[in-house]
Copies of this chain bind each other. A is one copy, B any other.
Amino acid sequence: MKKTRFRVVFGFVVGLLVLASCLGVAHSQTAPATAPAAAAPAPPTGSADAELKDATGKAPTMMQLQSGDPGGTITGTINDVPAADTKAGVTLPDVANQVGQNKIAVNFTWTLITGFLVMFMQAGFAMVESGLFRVKNANHTYMMNFFVYTCGLFAYWIIGFAIQMGGAAGNSNLGGLQSLSSEHTVSIFGKMWGLWGQSGMFLAGHTYDVGVMVIFLFEMVFMDTALTIVTGACAERWKFLAFAVSSVIMGAITYPLFGNWAWGGGWLAQLGTNVGLGKGYCDFAGSGVVHAVGGVTALAVSMIVGPRIGKYNRDGSSNPIIGHDISAVLIGCFILAFGWFGFNPGSTLGASANGSLRIGTIAVDTMLAGCTGTIGAILYMWALKGKPDASMSGNGILAGLVAITAPSGFVSPTGACIIGLIAGVLVCVSCSFVENVLKVDDPVGAISVHGTNGLWGVLSVGLLADGTSNYGGSWNGVTGSVTGLFYGDASQLVAQLVGISTLIGVIFTLSLVINLVIEFFIGQRVSIESELAGLDMPEMGQLGYPEFVFRPEPAVLMGQA
C-alpha cells in the first residue's frame, strides 16, 4: 500500500517534469522573434528634455529586459516613467507628474495597508472578549464582534462618514480630498465653529473619488474599533437586537459627531486657531476619539444593562467570573498589538511629504508603550498577588497601547515608556475601582482599558508632547509643533482638558439617553433563563463548541448562593 502511494507520487512528479520539458522545447520552437528595441533617436542638445531623451537612449532596451533581470539592476529606470506623448518621449513635465503620482501612490499604499491592519483588530477584540467570557456565551460573543463590523460599516457608509469627514477637504497627503467640501458651522464671538460635515453620504456623487475612498476606509475601521469596545463591557447578558440597534446609532451619529469635532475640522480642532489654545485639541490617532468614546459609551450602556447574575453578592462584594480560554486572550492581544501598528503610524495618512517620515517614531512609541504597559500591570499584580496574572497582562499591553494612541505622533520614545508604564498601573487600579466602587460589571475591563486610559492618553499629550514633531510645519492650522506643559505650552493642556470634558459630557449623556430609549422600546437585557443557560442557544440557536464536554458552573454564579 505504502509502495503504491509512492509509485503514484513518483510517476506523477516525473509526468509533470516531462510535461514541463515538452513545453520548454515547444517554447524554443515557437517563441516569436521579438523586434529589437528601436534605436534611440539622436538627442537634441541643450534643454532638459534633450537630457532626458539622451538618458532614455542609455536605458535598458526591451530586448535586454527580455533576457531577465535577476539582480534588479535594469528594472525601474527612466523607461518606466510614462510619457504623455510617446513620440516625444519622456519630458520634464512627465517626470514631475510621475513624481506627484508616486507620492500619492506611496501614501495610498501606506494608508490602505495600515487600515487593513486596523480592520484585522476586530479578530483580536473578538478573541480577547470571548476568551475572558464563559464558554456558554461563546457563540453570542463572537457573533456580536462579527456583526458589529457589518452594522457599523453600513451605518457609517450611509451617514456617519459624512457627518465626521464631510468638511475635511485639504489633506495634501492624499491628493487634496477636495470633494469633502462642506462643514456645517455656527458663528460664536465672531469665529466660525464646525459642528458636523455634510458631504459623502453613500460615497456617491462628488465623493465617488479615489482619495475619498482611502480616507473612508481608514476612518471606517477606526469607528468600528470604538463600537466593538462596548460589546466587551456588556457581553454575557446583552440582547442581540438591542446590541445591533445601539451599535448602528453609535456608528451613524454618536461616534462621527465627536470624530468631526476632533478630526473633521470641527470646533475642538479649532480651539487653536479660534481662541489660541495650543494647536487645538490634539488626538493623534484617537485615544479620545476612538477609545475613550468607546469606553465612556461602554460605561453608559453597562450601567443600563446591569451586572451579570452572580457577579455581586448581597453585601455588595463581588465574585470573580473566570474566562474560558487564556490562549484566545493572549493571541487576541498579539493581533491587537499587530493591528496597532496600523492604528497609530497609519494616522499620518501617508509616508511621503509633510513630515510623514515620522511614522517610524510613531511605531516605536507604540511598541514601547505597550511594553511598559505590560510591565506595569505584571509587576503591579505580581506585587499584589504574588503571581503574574495573564488577564491583567493582556489588559496591561492594551492599556499602554490605548494611552499612547493620542500622543504617539508627538512624544519621544522615553515619553512613550512613561505614558505606558502609568497606563499599565492605572488599568489595574481602574478595574478595581469600577468593580468595587462604581459597582459596574465590566467583564473585560473595557471601561478601564479604553475609557480611563483613553482619557489618560489625551491628557498626556498636554503634558509630554515634546515639540519635535513637524507635520508640514503646523497642526490644526496653527503654525508650530504640538508641545505639552513639560515642554513649555500650558495652553495645550487646557485644550486637552476641554476635549476631555466635552467627550465625557456629550458622549456619556448621548449614549445614556439613546440606550435608555432602546431599553424602553426593545429591552437591553436577555431574560434570566437565557442568561443562566448561556446566550448561545436562546439568542443564536447554536453552541460555540457543541462537541466538547464542560465542567458545571459554580453555584454562586447560577444565582443560587
User: Which single residue of chain B is at the shortest CB-CB distance from A155?
Assistant: B16
Tell me the residues in window 464-479 of chain A with beta carbons closer than 8 Å to chain B beta carbons. 468-470
CA distance A179 to B66 in the complex (A): 4
Evaluate contact between B153 and A72: CB separation under 8 angstroms.
Answer: no
Picked from B93, B325, B356, the residue with its CB within 8 Å of the CB of A78 is B93
Evaluate contact between A355 and B73: CB separation under 8 angstroms.
Answer: yes
Chain A interface residue count: which class? 35 or more
A189 within 8 A of B: no
Evaluate contact between B147 and A378: CB separation under 8 angstroms.
Answer: yes
A397 within 8 A of B: yes
A275 within 8 A of B: no
Listed stretches A205-213, A303-311, A502-510; interface member? A205-213
With A72-B210, A358-B72 as known contacts, state yes or no: A330 contacts B93, CB within 8 Å: no
Listed stretches A284-292, A333-341, A436-444; interface member? A333-341
Which residues of B sit under 8 angstroms from A326, Cβ to Cβ? Answer: 138-139, 142, 542-545
CA distance A127 to B122 in the complex (A): 16
Which residues of B sit under 8 angstroms from A127, Cβ to Cβ? Answer: 327, 331
Q: Secondary structure at chain A's binding surface: helix, strand, loop or mixed?
A: helix
CA distance A249 to B6 in the complex (A): 16
Picked from B113, B203, B204, B355, the residue with its CB within 8 Å of the CB of A364 is B203
Which residues of B sit under 8 angstroms from A203, Cβ to Cβ? Answer: 364, 412-414
A351 within 8 A of B: yes
Evaluate contact between B541 and A389: CB separation under 8 angstroms.
Answer: yes
A511 within 8 A of B: no
Which residues of B sit under 8 angstroms from A81, Cβ to Cβ? Answer: 96, 99-100, 103
Chain A 95-126, CB within 8 Å of chain B: the 1/0 string?
11111111111111110110111011011001
CA distance A207 to B2 in the complex (A): 38
CA distance A92 to B46 in the complex (A): 12
A367 within 8 A of B: yes
With A30-B184, A116-B117 as known contacts, state yes or no: A210 contacts B75, CB within 8 Å: yes
Evaluate contact between A547 and B202: CB separation under 8 angstroms.
Answer: no
Which residues of B sit under 8 angstroms from A172, Cβ to Cβ? Answer: 80, 82
The 5 closest A-B pairs by CB, nearest first: A55-B93, A213-B360, A72-B357, A105-B352, A71-B470
